[in-house]
Amino acid sequence: MRSRFSIFASIAAILFFALVAVFGASRPASFLRSGAVGIAGPFARAAGRAGVWLGFGAESFSIGRIRALEEEAGRLAAAEARALALEKENESLSQSLGLRTGFGASLKSARVLQYQSSLGRETLVIDLGSDDGAAEGDIVIDEKRLLIGEIREAGIGFSKVAVASNPGITFSGVLVPLGGEVLAKGIGARALVLELIPSDVPVRSGDFVIWTREDQRGNPAVFAGRVAGSVAAGSGTFKTGHAVLLSDPERTDRVMVMSRQ
């Protein structure tokens, strides 16, 4: 009798979880996931905050240093228009309304429910889901207009954000202040590889990488990374470098989601 019950329970469990795994995007599964995030989210968030308090992470990149760079970038023709727009909007950086005015109606605010780093990948869970207009591929920035990452999965009432330095994440960028388009790839541990740097573009340690996308041209710049170390001279037309992600996802309480226009 007990063994029959055990077999029945095992089969029921396999069927249940197989259905949840296969139909993960369906409404019932999304509600289950929203429930799990809602119940365990505060516990996870508290643990993350305790970790940040205990931790030995690097000091957060300050708004003061970003402004100093913006003033330098404004002097150069390649980034002059964006730098002037940044200078005008500096005062409203921390206000969501000011940020929305700069980026247009496609910017939505969200609260970070938890931060996790596991198997070399960092993930944020935010409280903005597909029912609020979030979609896979939307870019997420913090209140300092630093790139956090992109939405990997949008559920009902929540979304999972993959940090931009995770392995497998790739985005287009522009070097500041000297210009030049690059392809930035995440390699984990907050590091980015900069590829396809034209060999005639000078790149210095300390230069910045701005995230770009075709439908976002004309919007205020989103800073992604800072060039670190020397740039390796390639044998062909391009060279390769490295950068460090500027944002601190583990310390972020609120983010902004940029939807595709």
Partner 1 sequence: MMQQRYMIVLIGGTLASAFFIERLAAGAAAGRLFIPPLSLLAVLAWFPALPLSWRIWLGGGAGFLADSFGDFRFGAAILLMIFLALLTGFFRSIISDRRPLFAKGAIAACLMGSFFLLVPLAAKIAVSISV
Other residues' Cβ atoms within 10 Å of the Cβ of residue 259:
19
144 makes contact with partner 1 (CB under 8 A): no
Question: By rule CB under 8 A, what count of residues binds partner 1?
Answer: 60
| Distances in whole angstroms, Cα of residue 247 to Cα of each of 22, 191, 224, 251 | 34, 11, 7, 9
25 makes contact with partner 1 (CB under 8 A): yes
CA atoms within a 13 Å half-sphere pointing along the CA-CB vector of 189: 2
Distance CA 238, CA 22 (A): 43
Q: Which is nearer to partner 1, 9 or 76 (CB)?
A: 9
Distance CA 254, CA 59 (A): 18
Distance CA 254, CA 124 (A): 11
Q: Which is nearer to partner 1, 115 or 208 (CB)?
A: 115
136 contact partners, CB below 8 Å, separation of at least 6: 151, 152, 153, 154
Stretch that binds partner 1, among 42-50, 92-100, 202-210, 217-225 (CB under 8 A): 42-50
Distance CA 125, CA 106 (A): 20
166 makes contact with partner 1 (CB under 8 A): yes
CB 191, min distance to partner 1, A: 9
Q: Which is nearer to partner 1, 165 or 219 (CB)?
A: 165
24 makes contact with partner 1 (CB under 8 A): yes
**In this chain, which of 28, 31, 42, 47 binds partner 1, going by CB under 8 A?**
47
Stretch that binds partner 1, among 136-144, 152-160, 170-178, 232-240 (CB under 8 A): 152-160
Stretch that binds partner 1, among 32-40, 83-91, 135-143, 217-225 (CB under 8 A): 32-40
Look up residue 145 and give its DSSP letter: S
E strand intervals along the chain? 107-118, 121-126, 139-142, 147-154, 159-163, 170-176, 181-188, 191-198, 208-212, 222-232, 238-245, 254-258
Residues in the chain: 261
The site string for partner 1 over 93-122 (x = CB under 8 A, - otherwise) reads ---------------------xxxxxxxxx
CB 79, min distance to partner 1, A: 28
The three-point CA angle 85-86-89 to 5° equals: 90
**In this chain, which of 127, 142, 153, 207 binds partner 1, going by CB under 8 A?**
153
Binding site for partner 1 (CB under 8 A): 6-7, 9-10, 13-14, 16-18, 20-26, 32-33, 36-37, 40, 43-44, 47-58, 114-123, 125, 152-153, 160, 162-163, 165-166, 188-190, 248-251
